[in-house]
Structure 1
Amino acid sequence: MTETPPAATVMRMWTGWIRPSDRDAYADYIEQTGLSAYRTTPGNLGAFTVFRDLPDGRCEVRTISFWRNRDDIRAFAGDDIEAAVFYSEDDRFLVDRETTVAHFDVA
């Protein structure tokens, strides 16, 4: 019998915008930075990025991660879990960004 992984109780979501031409490079970059950091933090239950091209010429990016609880998020993000975490090359890619994240309780 295999053990069922713990159920996620919190979803964390951040949104930013890039140039559509940077999509592949940014996908690689965010995989090596933010998503890798999410996944190696105890209590993270998965993370991924989604993209969509917008009519205004930008590409919207959302990172979505699932966590056991807010204390596990704190281990990743620090005491202010509402503040977005940024990395050294973000300015190279992001044309706009939210500086906060949204947290949702998972039913």
Structure 2
Amino acid sequence: MIAREWKCRVPEVHIEGFTGYLYETGIKDSSATPGYLGAQIFQRSLPGKVEITLITYWDKMASIKAFAGDDISQARLYPEDEIYELEPDLSVQHYEVIEHQFSPALRG
């Protein structure tokens, strides 16, 4: 399994709207791609901003390429990002997931 990590910063005033927008763009497009296994969204407060980390999980690099294009190290951005005054990382990181375990209480 491969984890794809992307980060951005959003002014606090836009965080609620941006989270929904993230679901309608990045999560929706990712989940429609064969080989997508799931996602997690993290947030943390910064002075006047919120940092968002999106991690998507994939079965193999070829599936990521189908989603992201030939250069999988480049972030996939959307035209409406500017509405949220987004400060996106322009590159992403990929990790081989060597262990994943959740408590049964967290599984659903």
Q: Compute the TM-score of the two structures, normalised by the length of structure 1.
A: 0.87
Q: Identity of aligned pairs, percent?
A: 33
Q: What residue ranges of structure 1 are gaps of 5+ in the alignment?
A: 1-8
What is the 5 A alignment of 1:11-30?
11-30=3-22
Match for 2:60 among 69, 75, 81? 69
Match for 2:70 among 48, 71, 79? 79
Match of 2:79, SS state, is coil
Aligned equivalents of 1:95 and 1:29: distance in 2?
Answer: 12
Q: After TM superposition, where is structure 1 displaced by more than 6 Å over at least 4 residues in a row?
A: none
Aligned equivalents of 1:46 and 1:106: distance in 2?
Answer: 13
Matched, 1:50 2:66: no
Match of 2:103 in 1: none
Aligned length: 98
The alpha carbon displacement at 1:45 in A equals: 0.1
Superposed CA RMSD in Å reads 1.0
CA displacement, residues 42-92 of structure 1 (integer Å, 9 cap, x when unaligned): 0000023221111x2111011110000100000000000000000111111
Matched, 1:90 2:81: yes
Match of 1:62, SS state, is strand
Match of 2:6, SS state, is strand
Q: Compute the TM-score of the two structures, normalised by the length of structure 2.
A: 0.86
Matched residue type, 2:51: E
The alpha carbon displacement at 1:94 in A equals: 3.6
Match of 1:6 in 2: none
CA displacement, residues 27-51 of structure 1 (integer Å, 9 cap, x when unaligned): 1101000100011100000023221
